Amino acid sequence: MFDRRLFRPGGPVPQREREWPSFRGAINEAMREEMRRDPAVFQMGEDIAGASPFGVTARLVTEFGTERVRDTPCSEVAVVGAAVGAAMGGMRPIVEFQFGDFLSVAIDQLTHQAAMLRYLTGGQVKVPIVIRLPCGGGQGAGSQHSQSLYSWFAHAPGIKVALPATSMDAKGLMKSAIRDDNPVLFFEHKALYRTRWPAPAEFRDPNHVIPFGRAAVRRIGDDLTVVATLTMVHHALAAAEALAKEGVSVEVIDPRTLVPLDTETIIQSVRKTGRLLAVDEAYLTCGIQGEVIALVTEHAFQALKVAPRRLGNPGVPVPFAPPLEDAVLPDQERITSAIRDMVSA
């Protein structure tokens, strides 16, 4: 069961960080390794050198100093604008927003400048920026601090969008993002920060990266495909585990990046199972769930046994009160119910 405050997979969590690294610790390690590797990498954000919101940039200033871990004014427009200029000048800035919701304040600097400059200059200008965006509900943070707005920016050409769901992916995708010559939005679900995950040997390899555009098949199944993101991956896995006891075999796919999107893995899975459920906690209208369903109906319509379904926020601001927040966000129970309906149709 996914704990809305602190999900710890696999029972009690060993305290050894090396064997079970935390999600936020994995991001910290990725940034630390890349800053050691490349002196052009530096950090910008509100309070990142001191209080360190959510603890992700903790202790980086001790090693790299305030020249490379820079506190900024509370002005998203100024910070993204400065990052664009620094990137054009040969630097590789990593920008942290305390809450990803406020990227909308700097949408001009992002979508009209950072995203387009490489195209408009015929490749003469590169804009290697990573913007880290804490997102998502389930934390009682209120409407203006709980949104998941990645579908907005997946719509804008020139921007890459990453959605890590485990420590391993958080580290590997962050390293790929920092090395990319295009602007990358790195969405980090707040409910995942304190989670811990077992790490394979390559987790400690500073040269190991996870390429963008390569989905992870989290669970293999034959009866239905669930495409899920961020915390919904873990809700879907819990639902699949419960349904296995009823004889229902569910395949769970985690896209890991929305731009680029691993379309082939999704299509192949639906061709095998004949059923598709797309789950994301963001708003349903124009959400990534609809994009996944459109993709499948265009390329694998004949394989579908029942109409695809989607789950997400029905289209209301994320409430502050936990019971109301739970009422609008998908969870294991809703996913399980939808799967039962689809396989019995």
Active-site positions read: 145
Give the contacts of 132 (CB within 8 A, at least 6 positions apart): 27, 45, 56, 94, 95, 96, 97, 186, 188
Q: Residue 277 — left, alpha, or beta (φ > 0 → left; ψ -120 to 50 → alpha)?
A: beta
> How far is it, in rounded angstroms, from Cα 344 to Cα 218?
23
Distances (CA, A) of 154 to 30, 85, 201: 24, 23, 32
Angle at the Cα of 338 from the Cα atoms of 333 and 341, rounded to 5 degrees: 125
- Report the C-alpha gap between 220 and 240 in whole angstroms: 10
Residue 220 CB-half CA count within 13 A: 0
**Nearest by Cα to 278 from 257, 256, 293:** 293
Q: Are 82 and 95 in contact (CB under 8 A)?
A: no
Polymer length in residues for the chain: 345
- Strand 216-219 relative to strand 250-254: parallel, antiparallel, unpaired? antiparallel
